[in-house]
């Protein structure tokens, strides 16, 4: 292959890489185009969950609904291997959250065995709400009115379902909403 052949091949590869990069960017719906701080550091890039159901929950450590952490963890353990992602968003908007990230993390782990990702503490309603929550509120016309308000984001952000505080995370209507989007059990078990 002469120089011109190599140059054309390089141009083709470059064009393919550019198209692939643009396709990867286009694959992230605007609703999920957020990176949020993790509770104990690092970042949680929500784009990585665009292909699966995502359950977003505003949490608090000292609330009558705090035992919902048990159901959230159970969902994560049972359905996580098949594609469900659960992310907790601690908030003191209702004056029931601990002050320090280390306290929140220790409380969730010690009392509820939480292993699903937790975002950094922030606002979930009002003018100071985190951008993700502003987008979720706009998509559903429903802002959290208390702790443990849940948003189920279906793959590709094709639909967002607002789920009130009193509805348990493992309620049939919640599970039945995300179940069709999960991998079959046998396929999930075969993955390393």
**Which residues form the catalytic set?**
63
- On whether the CB atoms of residues 59 and 147 are closer than 8 A, the answer is yes
Tokens of 26: 């286009």
- On whether the CB atoms of residues 123 and 91 are closer than 8 A, the answer is yes
CA distances from 123 to 78, 95, 102, 130, 132 (A): 29, 11, 18, 6, 10
């Amino acid at each position: 292959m002469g120089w011109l052949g190599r140059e054309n091949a390089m141009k083709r590869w470059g064009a393919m890489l550019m198209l692939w990069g643009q396709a990867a960017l286009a694959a992230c719906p605007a609703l999920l185009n957020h990176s949020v701080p993790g509770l104990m550091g690092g970042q949680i890039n929500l784009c990585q969950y665009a292909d699966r159901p995502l359950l977003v929950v505003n949490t608090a450590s000292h609330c009558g609904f705090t035992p919902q952490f048990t159901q959230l963890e159970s969902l994560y353990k049972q359905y996580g291997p098949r594609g469900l992602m659960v992310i907790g968003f601690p908030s003191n908007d209702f004056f029931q959250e601990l002050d320090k990230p280390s306290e929140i993390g220790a409380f969730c782990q010690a009392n509820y065995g939480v292993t699903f990702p937790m975002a950094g503490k922030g606002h979930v309603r009002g003018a100071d709400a985190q951008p993700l929550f502003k987008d979720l509120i706009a998509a559903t016309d429903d802002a959290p009115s208390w702790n443990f308000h849940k948003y189920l984001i279906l793959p590709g952000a094709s639909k967002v379902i607002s789920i009130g505080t009193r509805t348990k995370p493992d309620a049939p209507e919640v599970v039945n909403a995300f179940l069709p989007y999960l991998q079959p059990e046998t396929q999930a078990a075969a993955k390393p």
